[in-house]
Chain A
Amino acid sequence: MNWKTTATAMGLALLASTGLARAEGVLNIYNWGNYTSPDVIKKFEDKYKIKVTITDYDSNDTALAKIRQGGTGFDIAVPSQTYVPIWIKEGLLLETDPGKMENFKNVAPEWANPEFDPGRKYSVPWAWGTIGVVVNTDAYKGPADTWGIVFNTPDELKGKVNVVPEMNDVIFAAIKYVGGQQCTDDKAVLKKVRDLLVAAKPNWIAMEYNTIEKMGAGDFKATSDWNGSALRQRLANAAIHYNYPKEGFGLWSDNVVVLKEAKNVENAKLFQNFIMDPENAAGLSAFHRYANAITGSDKYMPADMKDAPEVVIPADAKPKGEFQKMCAPETQELYTKIWTELQK
């Protein structure tokens, strides 16, 4: 029996057992592009008789700006953890208290009480991952567990390295490389960061997001990247390896929240609860290729993800991972200036 029929069958079985279809209607989801598993959505639709629409966004800033304007008609959004506190502070979110939902027991302990949403009053984990260095080992065989690949490029990779132009991620990595703390506003550190970046840039071939295709085709031989993206690259070309930089690497997570202006609150809550179910969480992972934070989901994970080095952080690298935070606006302004200086 394939995945879809399983899903439908399960949905029908559940419907039969409860004897009534709860909360009929619609649910409007606002999420990153190419991130939402159609199979899991189908299963949700069948189970609750709810019609789901999905609208894409491409950055946290776009999503925040749009929701802030209001009147979007969306019920659910999926901001990154750095942005969740802003959404909460600006009163954009509905306190749905997922911590008290039925499936919350499945949330892994380290994700049950995160700093960005203490007690999980608003958000439910969607995916989490790391930002590291991807290298094509056909082009470079040396040690690659360092940001030096990007910032102090070895000769073999000069002119073949790409940098994903996420300002905060790049500055985070550069600060780690020169030995500073994230979100630092220490001028001495930032000067080193600026000089490092400006000196590194001539060795880069590009600064773009399209890494899966370009690493696959060989336009790039190395890049900074997200782990799920790296996994997709390795599945296409076994020579491509993901590395956890020893200087420290960023951890991120995206989280499902319900908007204050949501029209379909009950459906949105159902969805929050639904994706904390291990099988559904695994279904989401199978599509977006990132880890979820749900205990017991490994059982249902696709075989090529269960032990994937991109998804399961090796024990020795684990302590180097650090949750990325939102920096203060004044600090952010310094970073923007360094970034403009870098790209001018």
Chain B
Amino acid sequence: MATAEEVAKAAERRDVRDRWLLSAPALLVILLAATGPLLIVLVYSFLTPGAYGDVKWQFSPDAWVSVFMERDIFDDTLSLAAAHVTIFWRSIKLAVVTTLATLALGFPTAYFMATRSEKTRDLWLFLITIPFWTNLLIRTFAVLQIIRNEGIINTILLKLGIISAPIQILYTDTAILIGMAYVYLPLMVLPIYASMEKLDFRLVEAGYDLYATRFKVLRKIIFPLVKPGVIAGSILVFIPALGAYVTPVVLGGGKNMMLSNLIELQFGQGRNWPLGSALSITVMVIVMLALLAYVRNAGKSGVRHG
């Protein structure tokens, strides 16, 4: 006769086994669907480009070398891949500025929403999610209609006589930033709102009671408490912004390449799939490093806070 303990142990073992079995299909899908394609990208980055696209199954480190170094086609000297560095830097800069812009716009918005009455909050939340109903491309073209020379802004300003010639906003960096901030704003507002909603506003009142200035309350009470939301929002905005493709092309005019355009070029007209793969992995590594730095930073201050 098994003791009660043994029965319990057997039941537990069975339970664990069942759990693994039950989650096996999901795990398998995740493993195949998430890591499988990435492994292909990794393998491709070490192969030789085929003559007209695709790859030849022949090991070559050339793709990785040309991510960082370039051989000048005219004097044959090997130097740092200046073009790639410029493009990487442009994309990173755009992602950082977009994150900051959405934070500057999104934080007050979330604060405003969280301080409304329970009933109206849902309405505001609903309004914030409306842009998600339409496709990114359509939203980008909507921005284009607003800022172009014959667009709404310029037409109104011209009619009012404030300007005599249309302001060229389209095809400038400002246009890209306007578009990016608009497109990614909800991704910043929603997580901040989620933590702001849980914020105990009695703490804010307590701060005021103790003669803290408004700025001090914001800096010492509100901000530390909603920091997880800010971090989540920043990550949600930074990562897709780094790979943004449509918005810079449509609003920026495609004269200056972003990372995504550079990668697309290798798979399209450039016919260098290994280089495209190597560039893609480089982007992933950058994102991962940025995330690690961010999380570690956040962790440190979290400890101090606790």
Bound together, the chains give a CA A64 to CA B269 distance in angstroms of 11
Instruction: From the candidates A59, A190, A333, A343, name the one contacting B257 in the complex (CB within 8 A).
Output: A343
**Complex contact A168–B53 (CB within 8 A):** no
Question: CB within 8 Å of A: which of B22-62?
Answer: 49, 51-54
Instruction: From the candidates B51, B53, B148, B249, name the one contacting A61 in the complex (CB within 8 A).
Output: B53
**Complex contact B262–A340 (CB within 8 A):** yes
Instruction: From the candidates A65, A167, A208, name the one contacting B53 in the complex (CB within 8 A).
Output: A65
**Complex contact A343–B261 (CB within 8 A):** yes
Bound together, the chains give a CA A286 to CA B84 distance in angstroms of 44
Cβ contacts under 8 Å, B54 to chain A? 65, 68
Contact with A along B154-174 (1 / 0, CB 8 A): 000000000000001011000
Segment with Cβ contacts to B, from A29-37, A48-56, A199-207, A234-242 = A199-207
* Closest Cβ–Cβ distance, residue A24 to chain B (whole Å): 37
Bound together, the chains give a CA A191 to CA B72 distance in angstroms of 11
Bound together, the chains give a CA A59 to CA B149 distance in angstroms of 30
B221 contacts chain A at the CB level, 8 A cutoff: no
Cβ contacts under 8 Å, B267 to chain A? 61, 65
**Complex contact B83–A219 (CB within 8 A):** no
Bound together, the chains give a CA A340 to CA B261 distance in angstroms of 10
Q: Mostly helix, strand, loop or mixed at chain A's interface? A: helix
**Complex contact B73–A201 (CB within 8 A):** no
Instruction: From the candidates B49, B73, B150, B268, name the one contacting A218 in the complex (CB within 8 A).
Output: B150
B125 contacts chain A at the CB level, 8 A cutoff: no
**Complex contact A336–B265 (CB within 8 A):** yes
Question: CB within 8 Å of A: which of B69-95?
Answer: 70, 73-74, 82-84, 86-87
**Complex contact A344–B53 (CB within 8 A):** no
Question: CB within 8 Å of B: which of A176-215?
Answer: 187, 190-191, 194, 201, 204-208
CB-based nearest A residue for B257: A343
B121 contacts chain A at the CB level, 8 A cutoff: no
**Complex contact B83–A341 (CB within 8 A):** yes
* Closest Cβ–Cβ distance, residue B278 to chain A (whole Å): 14
Bound together, the chains give a CA A167 to CA B265 distance in angstroms of 9
B254 contacts chain A at the CB level, 8 A cutoff: yes
B253 contacts chain A at the CB level, 8 A cutoff: yes
User: Given A340-B262, A344-B83, are A218 and B149 neighbors across the interface (CB < 8 Å)?
Assistant: yes
Instruction: From the candidates B74, B84, B254, B266, name the one contacting A165 in the complex (CB within 8 A).
Output: B254
Contact with A along B174-211 (1 / 0, CB 8 A): 00000000000000000000000000000000000000
A12 contacts chain B at the CB level, 8 A cutoff: no
B272 contacts chain A at the CB level, 8 A cutoff: yes
**Complex contact B150–A205 (CB within 8 A):** no
Bound together, the chains give a CA A184 to CA B250 distance in angstroms of 32
Chain A interface bracket (under 10, 10 to 19, 20 to 34, 35 or more): 35 or more
CB-based nearest A residue for B72: A337
Bound together, the chains give a CA A166 to CA B171 distance in angstroms of 19
Bound together, the chains give a CA A268 to CA B84 distance in angstroms of 45
Bound together, the chains give a CA A332 to CA B52 distance in angstroms of 10
Interface size on B, residues (CB 8 A): 36
B19 contacts chain A at the CB level, 8 A cutoff: no
User: Given A190-B73, A191-B74, A332-B271, are A340 and B265 neighbors across the interface (CB < 8 Å)?
Assistant: yes
**Complex contact B148–A217 (CB within 8 A):** yes
User: Given A64-B52, A344-B86, are A336 and B255 neighbors across the interface (CB < 8 Å)?
Assistant: no
Instruction: From the candidates A59, A68, A340, name the one contacting B83 in the complex (CB within 8 A).
Output: A340
Question: CB within 8 Å of A: which of B223-282?
Answer: 249-250, 253-257, 261-262, 265-272
Bound together, the chains give a CA A59 to CA B269 distance in angstroms of 9
User: Given A336-B270, A337-B73, A340-B265, are A208 and B249 neighbors across the interface (CB < 8 Å)?
Assistant: yes
**Complex contact B150–A217 (CB within 8 A):** yes
Bound together, the chains give a CA A45 to CA B70 distance in angstroms of 54
**Complex contact A329–B73 (CB within 8 A):** no
**Complex contact B254–A336 (CB within 8 A):** no
**Complex contact A207–B255 (CB within 8 A):** yes
User: Given A207-B253, A208-B253, A336-B272, are A329 and B51 neighbors across the interface (CB < 8 Å)?
Assistant: yes
**Complex contact A205–B171 (CB within 8 A):** yes
Cβ contacts under 8 Å, B249 to chain A? 208
CB-based nearest B residue for A61: B268
**Complex contact A187–B74 (CB within 8 A):** yes
CB-based nearest B residue for A59: B268
Cβ contacts under 8 Å, B257 to chain A? 340, 343-344
Bound together, the chains give a CA A206 to CA B148 distance in angstroms of 13
A334 contacts chain B at the CB level, 8 A cutoff: yes
CB-based nearest B residue for A163: B255
User: Given A61-B267, A340-B262, are A208 and B170 neighbors across the interface (CB < 8 Å)?
Assistant: no
**Complex contact A168–B83 (CB within 8 A):** no
Contact with B along A302-344 (1 / 0, CB 8 A): 0000000000000000000000001001001110111111011
Cβ contacts under 8 Å, A187 to chain B? 73-74
**Which A-B residue pairs are the 6 nearest by beta carbons?**
A206-B253, A344-B83, A336-B270, A343-B257, A167-B269, A329-B51
Given contacts A64-B52, A159-B168, A340-B87, 12 further A-B contacts (CB under 8 A): A61-B271, A65-B267, A90-B52, A206-B171, A206-B253, A207-B253, A217-B148, A218-B149, A329-B52, A334-B73, A336-B270, A343-B255
- 25 A-B pairs in the complex with CB atoms less than 8 angstroms apart: A59-B269, A61-B269, A64-B52, A65-B53, A162-B253, A167-B265, A167-B269, A168-B269, A187-B74, A190-B74, A194-B74, A206-B254, A208-B253, A208-B254, A217-B150, A219-B149, A336-B265, A336-B271, A337-B73, A339-B265, A340-B83, A340-B270, A343-B254, A343-B256, A344-B87
